[in-house]
């Protein structure tokens, strides 16, 4: 069990919040907080990942700076959240990649782009690499199908394995005594909160990203990024089906299903990433953990590059620039897959499990209250 300065500060802040309870209706964190009197490291990891950093509690808090208590709950939970990524990462030796994460992601992305470009130029004749390639299998004439599948498929499967193992470690460390996670009602509630990003609405008015004023901007930009990413994944899945089961290799016409899914998904990702970067740059620095923003910027830029190069490849796939663009896009995708379990992206499964645990705890409390009410009626 780790006991860092961030853990100690978050525990101190939550103990004060638990006594005050002014922010009880602000978000899911405060009802979950009131269910416990003491906060283990697992509890703090859970509450930190349940926090969506809407910052409403910071501006409402009577104990925030310049008060002598100096409470800054969004910053405290952000620091614990970042530590939880490292604490539960798999395999454990690679957890060090979360340290100076912005630098790691930037250097690894540049390295993979360079490596794929170098190998493509070394293995492919210039007459193929720099000349227009059209018709079925055009991409594979630049980079062989088996090599593309080996690289992209291998790194993707590794990323999924590492994410699943990390999420399993997080669940085991934070789950505690909760009902079975497959219970229908809490599972439906958790899925609703995940796919609507309900908690990015704060207490209902939105987040306080730039000042005390409320805004739904961060929620909307997250929606664009989240659903854009899902559309791009659906595009890749559909293209795989076309290739392997229908015998129709890429590239596909613009109005085909794989291209339409990827096109609109890519636009959503670009708009979402650009908007979130803008909010981070213009946001109020007071409630933020500024030393952790490097990881945020690195992931958003990596996602932005992934989507933007994909759209650029779509626009120029019939020109002589296609070969180089394909190598650059593949290098960025490989970097994204390999760094996925060691970047800020892990907040997605961790937060999903935190929302599931919250739904399970809420259901347990509801049943306990119903049982208590029933016993009271029987006594009467």
What is the C-alpha separation between 1 and 174, in angstroms, rounded? 12
User: For 238-284, what is each residue's pLDDT tens digit?
Assistant: 998 998 898 888 899 999 999 999 999 999 999 999 999 999 999 88
Q: List, for residues 153-193, the tens digit of each pLDDT value.
A: 999 999 999 999 999 999 999 876 666 666 788 899 999 99
pLDDT given at position 127: 77
Give me the residue spans of the domains in the chain.
Answer: 89-379
Pairwise CA distance, residues 374 & 152, whole Å: 57
Mean pLDDT of 119-141: 82
Q: What is the pLDDT of residue 356?
A: 93
Write out pLDDT tens, residues 312-356.
999 999 898 998 999 999 999 999 999 999 999 999 999 999 999
Q: Residue 145 pLDDT more than 90?
A: no
Tens of pLDDT, residues 44-83:
999 999 999 989 889 989 999 999 999 999 999 999 999 9
| Residue 252 Ramachandran class (φ > 0 left, ψ -120 to 50 alpha, else beta) | beta
What is the pLDDT at residue 177? 62
The per-residue b/e assignment along 72-109, b for 16 or more CB within 10 angstroms, e otherwise, is bbbbbbbbbbbbbbbbbbbeeeebebbeebbebbbebb
């Amino acid at each position: 069990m780790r006991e860092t300065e961030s853990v100690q500060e978050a525990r101190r802040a939550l103990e004060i919040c638990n006594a005050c309870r002014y922010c009880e209706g602000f978000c899911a964190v405060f009802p979950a907080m009131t269910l416990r009197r003491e906060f283990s490291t697992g509890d703090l990891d859970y509450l930190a990942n349940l926090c969506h950093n809407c910052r409403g509690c910071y501006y409402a808090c009577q104990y925030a700076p310049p008060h002598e208590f100096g409470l800054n709950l969004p910053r405290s939970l952000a620091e614990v959240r970042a530590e939880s990524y490292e604490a539960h990462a798999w395999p454990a030796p690679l957890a060090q990649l979360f340290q100076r994460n912005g630098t790691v992601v930037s250097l690894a992305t540049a390295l993979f782009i360079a490596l794929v470009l170098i190998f493509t130029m070394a293995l492919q004749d210039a007459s193929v690499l720099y000349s227009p390639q059209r018709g079925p299998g055009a991409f594979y004439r630049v980079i062989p199908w088996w090599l593309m599948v080996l690289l992209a498929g291998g790194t993707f499967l590794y990323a999924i394995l590492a994410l699943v193992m990390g999420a399993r470690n997080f669940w085991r460390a934070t789950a505690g005594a909760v009902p079975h996670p497959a219970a229908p009602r809490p599972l439906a509630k958790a899925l609703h909160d995940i796919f609507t990003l309900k908690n990015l609405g704060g207490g209902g008015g939105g987040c306080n990203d730039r000042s005390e004023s409320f805004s739904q901007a961060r929620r909307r930009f997250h929606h664009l990024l989240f659903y854009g990413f899902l559309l791009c994944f659906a595009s890749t899945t559909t293209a795989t089906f076309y290739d392997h089961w229908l015998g129709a290799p890429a590239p596909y016409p613009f109005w085909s299903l794989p291209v339409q899914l990827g096109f609109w998904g890519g636009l959503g990702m670009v708009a979402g990433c650009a908007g979130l970067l803008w909010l981070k740059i213009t946001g109020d620095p007071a409630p933020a953990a500024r030393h952790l923003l490097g990881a945020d910027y690195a992931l958003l830029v990596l996602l932005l590059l992934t989507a933007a190069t994909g759209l650029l490849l779509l626009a120029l796939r019939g020109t002589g620039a296609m070969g180089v663009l394909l190598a650059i896009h593949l290098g960025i995708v490989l970097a994204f897959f390999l760094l996925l379990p060691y970047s800020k992206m892990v907040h997605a499964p961790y937060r999903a499990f935190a929302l599931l645990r919250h739904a399970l705890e809420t259901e347990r409390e509801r049943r306990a209250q119903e049982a208590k009410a029933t016993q009271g009626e029987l006594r009467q």
